[in-house]
């Protein structure tokens, strides 16, 4: 969790959203080549970071891998960030936003698992909080931060991405580590969430 999500938004659209606050934005994305549906770990995904006074929209590799033999870290638990100095340092200095229009999760139903798309019906676009590493070859990689589930997600999975709406996301890129650690909590239960089955993705348990 989370191992697939949708990015049905062009960089130009995202740029207009961010520019609504008169912010300086640099767009490095070619919209024609940007994958938009069901992105998975090892894909390049649409991200936003803050560099000095500018917001950089770019395409970044999803999944941190420290060596050829190490596992791919697509998700990082917020508990790990709180407990381990290395991850806390990344969270302090290398925060990213990942734009989403929905994410996928498997739900047990009888003797099968059905994959559902989960989304916020009142939000055309939202963000997942993330952090970044840069390896010895200067390759940038990001990992999505997860936390405990809210009421909606408890019957589906025991984790949820840290989801942020537009202004929360902008604040996440600039606020202190103490404020952001408090921000990494389950989505509030009064924010409406919905899910629809991905009928082609059903498997036996």
Distance CA 181, CA 41 (A): 24
Distance CA 51, CA 189 (A): 33
Q: Please, are residues 129 and 170 in contact by the beta-carbon 8 Å criterion?
A: no
Q: What is the pLDDT of residue 201?
A: 55
In a domain, 116, yes or no: no
Q: What is the pLDDT of residue 9?
A: 83
Tell me which residue range forms the domain holding 143: 5-106+122-189
Q: Please, are residues 127 and 163 in contact by the beta-carbon 8 Å criterion?
A: yes
Q: What is the pLDDT of residue 32?
A: 62
Total domains, the chain? 1
Place of tokens 């991200």: 47
* Closest-CA residue to 30 (of 54, 59, 51): 59
Q: What is the pLDDT of residue 204?
A: 43
Q: Which residues contact 138 (CB under 8 A, 6 or more apart)?
A: none
**CATH number of the structural domain spanning residue 72:** 3.90.1680.10
pLDDT, tens digit only, all 205 positions of the chain: 568 999 888 888 888 888 887 889 998 887 766 656 789 999 999 999 999 889 999 999 999 999 888 999 999 999 999 999 999 999 999 999 999 999 999 888 888 888 899 999 999 899 999 999 998 888 899 999 999 999 999 989 999 999 999 999 999 999 999 999 999 999 999 999 999 988 655 554 3
Q: What angle do CA 91, 192, 129 make, to 5 degrees?
A: 10
Q: What is the pLDDT of residue 144?
A: 97
Residue 53 gets which letter from DSSP? T
In a domain, 202, yes or no: no
């Amino acid at each position: 969790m989370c191992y697939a999500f949708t990015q049905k938004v062009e960089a130009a659209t995202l740029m207009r959203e961010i520019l609504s606050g008169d912010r300086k934005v640099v767009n490095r994305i070619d919209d024609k080549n940007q994958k938009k549906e069901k992105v998975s770990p090892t894909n390049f995904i649409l991200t936003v970071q803050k560099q000095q006074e500018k917001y950089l929209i770019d395409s970044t590799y999803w999944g941190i891998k420290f060596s050829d033999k190490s596992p791919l870290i697509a998700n990082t638990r917020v508990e790990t960030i709180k407990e381990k100095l290395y991850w806390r340092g990344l969270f302090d200095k290398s925060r990213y936003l990942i734009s989403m229009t929905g994410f996928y999760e498997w739900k047990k139903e009888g003797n099968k698992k059905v994959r559902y798309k989960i989304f916020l019906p009142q939000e055309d676009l939202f963000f997942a909080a993330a952090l970044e590493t840069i390896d010895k070859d200067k390759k940038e990689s990001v990992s999505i931060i997860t936390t405990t589930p809210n009421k909606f997600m408890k019957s589906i999975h025991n984790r949820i991405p840290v989801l942020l709406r537009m202004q929360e996301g902008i604040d996440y890129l600039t606020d202190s580590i103490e404020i952001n650690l408090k921000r990494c909590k389950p989505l509030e239960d009064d924010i409406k969430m919905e899910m629809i089955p991905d009928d082609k993705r059903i498997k036996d348990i």
